[in-house]
């Protein structure tokens, strides 16, 4: 398992989420992370998911 950092923001810059999530791989993070973001109702908010090396996995403005 690898650690990924998820952050979500309001348009004002206010932080909504700043959490570590764990996934098996970058591909799993993209698929499962996307589902989790949907479940949290944050798919239309500015957000990003990066791996522990800083690689951008998901991003939405």
- The reported pLDDT for the residue numbered 52 is 95
Tens-place pLDDT, residues 25-43 = 999 999 999 999 999 999 9
Length reported for the chain: 61
CA 55/CA 8 separation, integer angstroms: 16
- The reported pLDDT for the residue numbered 31 is 98
Q: Single out the residue of 44, 34, 41 nearest to residue 6, CA to CA.
A: 34
CA 5/CA 10 separation, integer angstroms: 17
């Amino acid at each position: 398992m690898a650690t990924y950092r998820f952050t979500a923001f309001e348009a004002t810059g206010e932080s909504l989420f700043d959490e570590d999530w764990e996934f098996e791989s970058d591909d799993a993070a993209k698929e499962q992370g996307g589902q989790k973001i949907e479940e949290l109702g944050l798919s239309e908010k500015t957000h990003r998911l990066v791996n522990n090396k800083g690689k951008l996995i998901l991003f939405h403005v």
